[in-house]
Amino acid sequence: MSTTTMTASSRATPAGPVDPIGADLTKILRTLKLSGLRDTLPERLALARQQQLGHAAFLELLLSDEVTRRESRSATLRAAKAGLDPTMRLETWDEHPDLSYDRQLWSDLTTLRFAEAGTGVLVLGPVGVGKTHLATALGHIAIRRRMTVAFYRADKLFTRLRAARLDNTLEAEIRRITGVDVLIIDDFALRALDATQTNDFYEMVVERHRRSSTIWVSNREPSEWLGMTTDALLAQSAVDRLTSGAHTLIIEGPSYRQRERVSIDAHQEARHAH
C-alpha cells in the first residue's frame, strides 16, 4: 500500500472519542458525586498521554478540575443569593473611552483591600454611566474570595425594613443585613428619605462603621443627602461616619442610553451611505 493510500485511509477513519467512558465508570462517578468529570475526562486522558503524566499527577489534574468546577458552582449560587446581577462582572465591564474615572483607584478597589480594612466605598456619578455595574463587579470579586455579600436597591431595602417592623423582626433583620462582609446599596438618595428611613440609614451606618465595608451607589454627592432626610443632625452624623476614610469613585460621561443612541445613529448613517 502506498504512503498516499495510507494517509487517505487514515483521514477517512473517524476520530472518535478518546477512551470512551463506560457505564461502570459513569456509575462510579455518579455515586461519588463526580459526574462533572465526565465532561473533561477524555481530554485529560489525551493530555496525560501527550505529557506522559504519572498516576499521581493525573489524579491531581482531575481533582483540580473538580475543585474548580465546585468553586465556580458555589460562587454562582452565593452570588444569586446575594442579589448580584450575573451579567455585571469585571470581565463584562465595557471600558468605554468617553467615560472618565480614576482607573488607578478602580484597580486598587478590585484588590478588595478596602473590604479587608473595613472601609467604605462611594460610587458616584450621573444616571447610566455604569455605577451599578462596577459596584456589582466588586461584589462578585468578594464572592469569589469567600466573603459574604448582600446587594440591595435602597428603596427595596427600606421597604424590607418597614415590613420587618410590622412583624417584630426588625432587630434580626438589621443584624442580618449589617452582618455581611460587603453590603452594596444601590440608587441611594434617589428619593427623599422619610423619618423612619432616615433612622434606618443612621442605624446601618453606625452598625457597620469601621467593622465592615459598605458600597454606596448614588447619583448625588453625600452633601446633598443631608437635605433629603427629615433629621439633618442624624444624617450629618451618619454621613460623617460613612465618608470618613471612604474611597470615592466618581464616574462621569454620557449614559449607556445616549451611547447606544449614538451607536444606532452611526450604524444607520453607514447603511444609508452604502
Residue 177, burial from CB neighbour count under 10 angstroms (0-12, 13-18, 19+)? buried
pLDDT confidence of residue 69: 86
pLDDT band (50, 70, 90) for residue 20:
low
CB contact at 8 A, 124 and 131: yes
Q: What are phi and psi of 151, to 5 degrees?
A: -115, 130
Mean local confidence (pLDDT), 201-205: 94
pLDDT in tens, 31-62: 888 888 888 888 888 888 899 988 898 888 88
pLDDT band (50, 70, 90) for residue 192:
very high
pLDDT confidence of residue 63: 85
pLDDT confidence of residue 259: 60
pLDDT confidence of residue 101: 96
CA dihedral sign, ordered 191, 197, 203, 204: negative
Q: Which of 16-30, 123-137, 253-267 has the lowest mean pLDDT?
A: 253-267
* 6 has pLDDT over 80: no
Q: What share of residues in the chain are helix, strand, coil (percent, to 5)?
A: 60, 10, 30
* 8 has pLDDT over 60: no
* 13 has pLDDT over 70: no
CA distance 188 to 220: 8
CA distance 205 to 209: 6
What type of residue sits at position 3?
Answer: T
pLDDT confidence of residue 9: 37
Entry pTM:
0.77
pLDDT confidence of residue 260: 57
Mean pLDDT, the chain, integer: 86
pLDDT confidence of residue 95: 80
Cα–Cα separations (whole angstroms), residue 122 to 3, 9, 18, 210, 213? 71, 67, 53, 15, 11
CA distance 148 to 79: 9
* 30 has pLDDT over 80: yes
CA distance 115 to 121: 9
pLDDT band (50, 70, 90) for residue 10:
very low
pLDDT confidence of residue 229: 96
Phi-psi region of 153 (alpha: psi -120 to 50; beta: other; left: phi over 0): beta
CB contact at 8 A, 122 and 243: yes
Alpha helices in 145-251 (DSSP H): 154-166, 170-178, 195-208, 222-225, 232-243
What type of residue sits at position 81?
Answer: K
pLDDT in tens, 104-124: 999 999 999 999 999 999 999
